[in-house]
């Protein structure tokens, strides 16, 4: 182990922010229980916000983004994890105001760290990352609400994104008829390969926006967009159906009346992957590693890159241009 290591660092430069590869020292890392040698990380929408100076995500710069990390334990002052234990960290404050997974080392509280479930290596864990965990939490929320494959079609919005594509593949794996809502017509074959049985484009997801309820179609919904697409999805949910709301890629607004809730008994389920208790995260990771292990996992990999090669991807994901997951190799 050396004292210095490679990391991406986002800093103010001129009128804006720039992200560069720098050398950091272990002494630069925040205090914490567990020092982890990061082997793989991944790209999420929130990482791109942090790397572009969004102070809603990261207050203080210079900063190393990366809300996901998988690697091995170097030291643990709590003696919870032996040296060399393969582990993963997603969410909590990692990559937000705590130096994140775009550095070869992180130091974090033991309460953020999960032993890698059997069957997942660090790369495959990061192919899932926060996106896979969030999709898993959404699917769990729909199942807990009683939605079953026999109830009919389920809709996934933002279907080519990290969370969306994972949700399409996972729901299909569990036997649901999945309709993929996407703005990318050219991704139709890929979404079908992931398991979507039908596609709906962005315009169609917005049709009838002025009405309080729409023709019922969805037994369940995983929504990553917010705004009018979410409102329309709620209005089109069948009697007793459920909608898992996890994202804001289109908008933070929710232009709805109460009618879908009081006339159709529709349930709107909030899903957060960041502050979930570690035990809840562990339960979903265990399922992702076993009965929820999706057969088309490798098809979700948009690209693998090293730290320096990651920088151009920040703009791409902010423009909604990533299909699946971008993996970062720090091994
Ligand atoms: P991605 O950028 O990978 O996916 C977002 C997708 O949404 C895009 O690929 C695109 O898919 C669609 N999209 C993007 N912009 C727009 C727009 N303006 N209008 C309509 N559709 C759009 O992001 P992630 O999958 O990482 O995250 C998705 C959302 O979920 C984000 O808002 C993120 O902040 C949130 N999130 C929340 C978490 C939680 O814990 N609640 C955890 C992880 C993410 P297409 O072209 O197919 O429509």
Contact assessment for residue 49 and residue 17, using Cβ atoms and an 8 Å cutoff: no
Give the pLDDT score at 210.
Answer: 87
For residue 109, is pLDDT > 70? yes
Distance 76 CA to ligand 1 centre (A): 35
For residue 112, is pLDDT > 70? yes
Q: What is the pLDDT of residues 79-95, one digit of tens each?
A: 999 999 999 999 999 99
What value does the mean pLDDT of the chain take? Answer: 96
Q: How confident is the model at residue 245 (pLDDT cuts 50, 70, 90)?
A: very high
The pLDDT of 40-59, averaged and rounded, is 97
Q: For a ligand 1 pocket test, name from 189, 249, 301 the mutation site with the most ligand atoms within 8 angstroms of its C-beta.
A: 249
For residue 1, is pLDDT > 70? no
The pLDDT of 223-228, averaged and rounded, is 97
Q: How confident is the model at residue 30 (pLDDT cuts 50, 70, 90)?
A: very high
Residues lining ligand 1, judged by CB closer than 6 Å?
A: 44-46, 130-131, 134, 158-164, 182-184, 202, 224-225, 246-250, 271-274, 317, 320, 322
**Ligand 1 atom with the shortest distance to the CA of 137:** 40
Domains, the chain, in order of start with CATH, read: 4-116+297-329 (3.90.180.10), 130-270 (3.40.50.720)
The pLDDT of 187-214, averaged and rounded, is 94
Contact assessment for residue 153 and residue 241, using Cβ atoms and an 8 Å cutoff: no
Indicate the range of 82-91, 143-152, 193-202, 208-217 predicted with least confidence.
Answer: 208-217
The pLDDT of 253-265, averaged and rounded, is 97
Paired tokens of 33: 């229980």
Q: What are phi and psi of 232, to 5 degrees?
A: -65, -35
Pair type for strands 16-25 and 105-108: unpaired
């Amino acid at each position: 182990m050396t004292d210095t290591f490679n990391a991406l660092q986002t800093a103010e430069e001129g009128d804006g922010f720039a992200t560069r590869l720098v050398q950091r020292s272990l002494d630069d890392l925040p205090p914490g229980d567990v020092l982890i040698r990061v082997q793989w990380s991944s790209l999420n929408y929130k990482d791109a916000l942090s790397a572009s100076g969004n102070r809603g995500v990261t207050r203080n710069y210079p900063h190393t983004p990366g809300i996901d990390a998988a690697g091995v334990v170097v030291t643990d002052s709590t003696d919870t994890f032996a040296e060399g234990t393969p582990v993963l960290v997603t969410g909590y404050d990692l990559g937000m105001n705590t130096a994140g997974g775009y550095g070869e080392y992180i130091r974090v509280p033991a309460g953020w760290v999960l032993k890698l479930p059997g069957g997942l290596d660090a790369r495959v864990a990061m192919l899932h990352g926060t996106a896979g965990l969030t999709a898993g939490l959404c699917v769990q929320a729909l199942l807990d609400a009683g939605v079953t494959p026999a109830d009919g079609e389920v809709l996934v919005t933002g279907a080519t994104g990290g969370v969306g594509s994972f949700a399409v593949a996972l729901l299909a794996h569990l036997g649901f008829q999945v309709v993929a809502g996407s703005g990318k017509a050219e991704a139709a074959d890929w979404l079908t390969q992931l398991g979507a049985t039908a596609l709906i484009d962005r315009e169609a997801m917005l049709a009838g926006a002025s009405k309080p309820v729409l023709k019922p179609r969805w037994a369940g919904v995983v929504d990553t967009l917010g705004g009018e697409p979410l409102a329309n999805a709620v209005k089109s949910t069948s009697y007793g159906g459920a909608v898992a709301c996890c994202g804001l890629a289109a908008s933070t607004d929710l232009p709805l009346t109460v009618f879908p809730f009081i006339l159709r008994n529709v349930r709107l389920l909030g899903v957060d992957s960041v502050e979930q208790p570690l035990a809840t995260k562990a339960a979903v990771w265990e399922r992702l590693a076993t009965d929820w292990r999706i057969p088309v996992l490798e098809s979700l990999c948009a690209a693998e890159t090293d730290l320096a090669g990651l920088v151009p991807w920040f703009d791409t994901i902010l423009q909604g241009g990533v299909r699946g997951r971008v993996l970062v190799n720090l091994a």
